[in-house]
Structure 1
């Protein structure tokens, strides 16, 4: 049976032609044939020029997610093996692979699929209909590729429980793929031990994207008094502690996260110097300010305040407020590490928001460095959605 085809409108597909991975519904002139949702379709420009092959879904505004830029490319087992092998080879060159993200969706040319490796366990998140149908074949190939490199995987857990699946007409689901295994996994990152809860932790269980940003704050934290806000399971706090901080306070609104952070502190023998408190950061910071508290290092790692374009205005106020409060708690000459993990909070807007907070706090900022997500979360140029993490380190200087 001849493969169905999607024909672009004249003048559309600019993002695709620049290297992007998505085709939106309003870019399409017509569909030739009757493709089933989740099936592969050819993509052609208005003049019939072949632009590759992708997954079709009439239920999604992202109508086509590209799998190949080569016209007529068969999307078969050999093709998928090539994609998986390339993803693993890239990680071996760029990151510590003991725990890392092996597949990062569109940036690894496997749209809608995320696979994280925590020691000898894989956690998969499938967010698009087409790739969902191929996920088990891709995972079997990944296990084969890793085994050929001497890396054995003892279990796979699925965390496809994100709400965004509903936009693809998919149910939210989680559970074992294959044999069951204990879902609390110990990993080591930057010399810090963690217990990762792959079943009930946030997203896939642990945020690997901040790996080298956590390492970057270590040198600032020796003999320092540190405040880690939105600590989750304690990752920045523990990096500060293992680097020799004199005291660390980690704060999170989730008691579950705080309990896990305390377990992680015990794993590293840091319970005497690294303490955790369950509190709303927006309430706690003004209280600490009223008490006259000052810290050598303040770390702000909030959740994504901006989860859609419509929420950016309110999110901007949240980022401005939290940075203003954080700056006021940094002693003169101390350091602020601050970040945003929202794709919709652009680099330009985030930078502008921090500058506004600094003016309101009457401090001057000296930029130490700007960083982004770890290399195992590669940024694919022209696929803006792959660039989401912005991370600054500043020295905070009082106006004199």
Structure 2
């Protein structure tokens, strides 16, 4: 596993709850070349004294080099964790939309412990799940996330809206398309 050592004093932000690790906070990166280049791979974050701080999603091209998945050393970053996080986010109460075309935010990135993932529900019966995978970590778990969304909501239509600027900053390609089911009609505002 990739091991990221944080500069002395920079761990204070992580310990205070900061979910992002910027390039400027990193003292050293240890791991094989393949691990360093694996976009969205899991990295162990340690303080300058070697204390475990977190497990995070690695993004080798972004200024935000890592986004924290968990601060629990024993929690595995795996399919079960991703599914559990999707389930927990979807279990939260949501407001009633003003119209069939008004989106309802179902998953809101770091607030729902899925850094960089935005999911809105638009329409009705069956409607559309519009996803934005804005970070390397959630992009690497895209298939698991989409399957969990379909299983939990029963909505067969999942569309990816890719913001080219955000995805370029993560070193990811930007393609907007249906990931499951049909694409939403043009009158839906998915930007």
* TM-score range normalised by the length of the shorter chain: 0.7 to 0.9
- Answer 1 or 2: higher relative contact order, Cα 8 Å, separation at least 6: 2
Q: Tell me, in whole angstroms, the C-alpha distance in 1 between the residues paired with 2:184 and 2:148.
A: 23
Note closer, same or farther for the CA distance 1:166–1:8 as it changes in structure 2 (3 Å cut). same
**How many Å apart are 1:37 and its aligned residue?**
3.0
CA distance in 1, matches of 2:184, 2:61: 37
Structure with the bigger percentage of helix = 1
Q: CA deviation at 1:182?
A: 4.8
Deviation at 1:196, TM superposition (A): 1.9
Shift of 1:77: 1.6
Q: Which residue of 1 aligns with 2:96?
A: 96
Pair 1:57 & 2:80 matched: no
> Residues 146-295 of structure 1 correspond to what in structure 2 (within 5 A)?
146=153, 152-184=154-186, 195-198=187-190, 203=191
- Corresponding residue for residue 126 of structure 1: 133
1:141 pairs with one of 142, 148, 162:
148
CA-CA distance at 1:153 after TM superposition: 0.9
| Residue number in structure 2 paired with 1:9 | 7
Partners of 2:52 and 2:73 within 8 A in 1: yes
Secondary structure at 2:182 match in 1:
coil
Provide runs of 4+ in structure 1 moved above 3 Å: none
Equivalent-residue separation in structure 1 for 2:44 and 2:81 (angstroms): 16
Does residue 75 of the first structure (1) align with residue 82 of the second (2)?
Answer: no
Any gaps of 5 or more consecutive residues in structure 2? none
- Normalised by the size of structure 2, how large is the TM-score? 0.86
Paired residues of 2:89 and 2:112 also in contact (CA < 8 A): yes
Q: Distance in 2 between matches of 1:75 and 1:83?
A: 11
Measure how far apart 1:181 and its partner are: 4.4
Match of 1:216 in 2: none
Q: 1: distance between equivalents of 2:160 and 2:184?
A: 14
Quote the offset at 1:80 in angstroms: 1.0
* Alpha-carbon shift at residue 73 of structure 1 (Å): 1.8
The answer for the alignment partner of 1:109 in structure 2 is: 113
TM-score, structure 1 length as denominator?
Answer: 0.43
Instruction: Check conservation: 1:41, 1:54, Cα contact below 8 A.
Output: yes
Partners in 1 of 2:115 and 2:39 — Cα distance? 15
